[in-house]
Structure 1
Amino acid sequence: MGSDKALLPFGASETLTQFQLQRLKPFFQSLHVSAKSRAKFNFDASFIEDTASYQEHSPLVALLSILEYFQIPVCVLSVDTPFVTPEVFETLYANLNDETDALVATSSSSSHQLCAIYSPSIIPVIRTLLERNEHKIRSVLAQSRTRFVSFQDDALFFNVNHPDEYEEAKRRL
């Protein structure tokens, strides 16, 4: 993308991160921002920084940091999917049980590993993969008790990865 997506202005919010926090806050008991470092953010929020145990930063390191911090199942959403609704997480949560390590949203276009609920039971698998310098969430899912929950509306999972997608997302608001 060429710039940090989390810090891009979006809608009436100064950043995409703040947009996500503001729109989702009414639906969750607490919201937290996972980041390599909180230093780049100039607003107040609850931050969970990546564990310093690993030199590389990746979504998998972030997921481990989150799960180690909370030690309960957590909803995870990447900052660059601004149209995922709270109802998506309600549906995922309705499918949560003790025999599931991960509940992942899917649509006709893809599975969405960063729109999911993860249980701390998955921590040992994550640690093993990171020790082997493997950072793919798909690898974790393949070695865990994962359930995929299908959603019909692909537009919910529109992802902002490129400048043209960022412009399209702003038009969709």
Structure 2
Amino acid sequence: MKKNIALLAGGKNSRMGGFTKSFLKFENEFFFQRVLKEFSNFDRITIISNEKKIYKEYPIEIFEDLVKDKGPLGGIYTALSSINDSCFIVACDMPFLNPKKILNFYNDLADYDAVIPLYKGRPQPLCALYNISILKYIKEAIADDDLKIMIPLKKANIKFVEIDDDKLFVNINTPEEYDTLTL
């Protein structure tokens, strides 16, 4: 099975004062560069962003949202539709992603529409592996303008996997969170 990853980097970044979160730096690297490096052994790496021009100097495949203004669910839809295969979907504001923690998800993907980690009992749908089979539920949710990610997931066959890692799911949404970013 091919291993694909799509980095969702198309948000409005309103809580970050409009600054594009994938271009925040940590340890002298942009957040998105850290993900590209960590997942460099994947078969296909893409970025989902409506700002293609800001990534033009990087050798990466970029897709713009197929359906505009649908939030992260629209990004997941674009990733799965554009890649036309299963895909690990991750938000661009997670600087501590580690492929070792999620590679085992591929062992279960044939039997499920998605494999989603839980952290302290909470689903992490923006750091999850999606089977192309879930696309029908996502299309339906977008058509109904039900944009909460958990809506199509409730209809799908999902495997939830508890992962106990204090750093893995850290995401940066505000300047204050960015200021406290530490290893």
Alignment TM class, shorter chain as reference: 0.7 to 0.9
Deviations 1:92-142 (Å, cap 9, x if unpaired)?
Answer: 112222x31111011116211011111111111111111111111111111
Structure 2 SS opposite 1:154: coil
More helix by share: 1
More strand by share: 2
Equivalent in 58, 64, 67 of residue 49 of structure 1: 64
Amino acid at match of 1:82: P
Deviations 1:128-173 (Å, cap 9, x if unpaired)?
Answer: 111111111111111111111111113211111122221232x21x
For 1:8-19, what aligned pairs fall within 5 Å after superposition?
A: 8-13=24-29, 15-19=30-34
- Structure 2 regions of 5+ residues with no counterpart? 1-15
By how many angstroms is 1:47 displaced? 0.8
The whole-number CA distance in structure 2 between the counterparts of 1:148 and 1:104 is 5
Give identity over the alignment, percent: 25
Deviations 1:47-94 (Å, cap 9, x if unpaired)?
Answer: 12211xx34141111111111122221111111111121112212112
Alignment TM-score, normalising by the size of structure 1: 0.87
Q: Paired residues, what number?
A: 166
Equivalent in 95, 100, 125 of residue 87 of structure 1: 100
The whole-number CA distance in structure 2 between the counterparts of 1:12 and 1:128 is 41
The whole-number CA distance in structure 2 between the counterparts of 1:48 and 1:22 is 19
Amino acid at match of 1:96: L
- Structure 1 regions of 5+ residues with no counterpart? none
Alignment TM-score, normalising by the size of structure 2: 0.83
Instruction: Note if contact 1:72-1:120 (Cα within 8 Å) is conserved in structure 2.
Output: yes
Equivalent in 21, 43, 65 of residue 29 of structure 1: 43
